Amino acid sequence: MAATTPNMPGLELLPELASRYVDVAALPWKPTPTPGVDMKILVQDQETGLLTALFKWAPGTVLPLHEHVEIEQTYVLEGSIVDDEGEVTAGNFVWRPRGNRHLAHSPNGALVISFFLRPNKFIGGEFAGQTLE
Contact 127, 62 (CB under 8 A): no
Residue 46 neighbours by CB under 8 Å, 6+ apart: 2, 133
Domains of the chain by residue range: 27-122
Q: pLDDT tens-digit profile of 60-96? A: 999 989 999 999 999 999 999 999 999 999 999 999 9
Phi, psi of 26 (to 5 degrees): -80, -15
Mean pLDDT of the chain: 87
Judged by phi (left if over 0) then psi (alpha if -120 to 50, else beta), residue 42 lies in alpha
Residue 5, Cβ neighbours under 10 Å: how many?
19
* Torsion angle in degrees (nearest 10) through CA of 53, 98, 68, 62: -100
- The fold adopted by the segment(s) 27-122 is Jelly Rolls (2.60.120)
Supply the pTM of this predicted model: 0.85
Check pLDDT > 90 for residue 20.
no
Q: What's the confidence (pLDDT) of residue 8?
A: 77
